[in-house]
Amino acid sequence: MPELLKRVPELTVLIVLTIAAYAIMGLFSEVSGTEVITPFAAWAIIVGSFVISLLIAIISVLGGVGGGVIFTPIMLGFTSADTLIVRSTGLVVAMFSGLVSSGPFMRNGLADIRLVFFCAIPIIVGAMAGSQFAISMAENMGETGDAIVRLTLGIVLVFIAVMFIMGGSKTEYPTPKRIDIISRKMNLKSRYWEESLNKTVEYHTTRALLGGALFFVVGFTGGFFGLGGGWAVVPVLNLVMAVPLKVSAASSGVLLAIGNAAAIWPYIVKGALIGVFAAPWMIGQVIGGILGAHILAKIKAAFVRNILIVLLFLTSIKLIARGVESLFGIDIPLV
């Protein structure tokens, strides 16, 4: 652990600041005259959030998704927390999932910087548009808007779970049949050293226009629901734009960090991001992401991926049930 902290000074600073913040929060919670929450309940929420975030981060790394895909649906499906606060915190969770992996990927040259810059523009625009639309919907539609969000998110989760089931079609080294003119003009090609083959792999991206349009949709969906885009970035890069799987995964982490950082700003301006609530989830993602990366090398991730699929289906049922009950007044025993 000390060697890890020396290699990652940002993590050291983050842990120290978080511990200091928790200590200050503990002192404030002792102030008399406040009836909002007891000191024990405050610490229970903080510790509980950190532990749950740690587990979510490990599962998300093993399952190959961003942490927001697990966090946001569970919070919206099984708690009564404000939807905007949950979605803004979900973006923090998703952002730090990407940040944990982006550093190593950038250092070892797996992340394609030219490709990241190209894809970052539509995903940032889409993410900020989705966040702004979510805030506008909450202001104008109130509880009805919250019900619609839960119902549509439940449907989106079913789609994501089906994508994971059908995910076997990913290709390690795709070869495009034709390079479109935009990809050629943008010079979206590169190379990287593949250790398993002990040689340099060259590739050329294709379908740049379609990929950009899909990244706008991914960004909008992630910003609106607070999911991030870890469930869709790799398939778009690998299956649509013919980027090798390892480069897709590495570039995905960097894109998620950039896109989710932009998507958070409308929520911050609205006041929907509460630091005390987000801090334990944030630090849990950092530590859990590092642990998950080490565990991934020692176990078969397919088992965890199957658990993730079941979890998504069960959570989608809960979300759809809550949405239907709120919208149509139907009493569903499941809720």
Per-residue confidence (pLDDT) for residue 42, from 0 to 100: 72
Q: Which domain holds residue 220?
A: 2-328
CA distances from 35 to 41, 106, 205 (A): 12, 48, 58
Tell me which long-range contacts 248-251 makes (C-beta under 8 A, separation of at least 24): 249/64, 249/110, 250/101, 250/105, 250/110, 250/111, 250/112, 251/105, 251/110, 251/111, 251/112, 251/115, 251/116, 251/119
Residue 319: pLDDT over 90: no
- Give the confidence band of 108 by pLDDT, cuts at 50, 70, 90: low
CA distances from 53 to 2, 50, 167, 176, 298 (A): 22, 5, 25, 39, 21
Measure the CA–CA gap between 113 and 6, rounded to whole angstroms. 26
Domain-embedded: residue 334: no
User: What does the block give as tokens for 109?
Assistant: 């040259």
User: What does the block give as tokens for 25?
Assistant: 């929060």
Q: Which residues contact 78 (CB under 8 A, 6 or more apart)?
A: 315, 318
Domain-embedded: residue 268: yes
Measure the CA–CA gap between 245 and 167, rounded to whole angstroms. 12
Average pLDDT of the residues in 143-162: 83
Share of the chain above pLDDT 70, in %: 74
Residue 135: pLDDT over 60: yes
Per-residue confidence (pLDDT) for residue 335, from 0 to 100: 47
Virtual CA dihedral for 53, 57, 59, 61, nearest 10 degrees?
Answer: 170
Domain total of the chain: 1
Per-residue confidence (pLDDT) for residue 33, from 0 to 100: 45
Least confident range from 45-49, 205-209, 329-333: namely 329-333
State the amino acid at position 112 in one-letter form: D
CA distances from 66 to 26, 57, 133, 216 (A): 31, 8, 22, 18
Residue 23: pLDDT over 60: no
Per-residue confidence (pLDDT) for residue 157, from 0 to 100: 83
Domain-embedded: residue 333: no
Q: Which residues contact 106 (CB under 8 A, 6 or more apart)?
A: 113, 254
Measure the CA–CA gap between 334 and 321, rounded to whole angstroms. 7
CA distances from 150 to 40, 112, 133, 219 (A): 31, 36, 15, 18
Residue indicated by tokens 């989705």? 130
pTM reported for the whole predicted model: 0.76
- Give the confidence band of 5 by pLDDT, cuts at 50, 70, 90: very low
Residue 34: pLDDT over 60: no
- Give the confidence band of 48 by pLDDT, cuts at 50, 70, 90: confident
Domain-embedded: residue 257: yes
Closest Cα to residue 272, out of 131, 147, 68?
A: 131
Average pLDDT of the residues in 138-159: 84
Residue 245: pLDDT over 80: no
Share of the chain above pLDDT 90, in %: 6
Residue 312: pLDDT over 90: no
22 compared with 188, residue with greater pLDDT: 188
Measure the CA–CA gap between 319 and 138, rounded to whole angstroms. 17
Measure the CA–CA gap between 49 and 89, rounded to whole angstroms. 12
Give the bridge partners for 278, in sequence order.
none
Closest Cα to residue 22, out of 56, 1, 50, 57?
A: 50
Kindly report, residue by residue over 61-82, the tens digit of the pLDDT: 666 667 777 888 888 877 777 8
202 membership: H or E segment, kind and range: strand 199-204
Closest Cα to residue 93, out of 232, 279, 235, 217?
A: 279
Per-residue confidence (pLDDT) for residue 105, from 0 to 100: 64
Average pLDDT of the residues in 264-270: 87
> Do residues 155 and 316 make contact, with C-beta atoms less than 8 angstroms apart?
yes
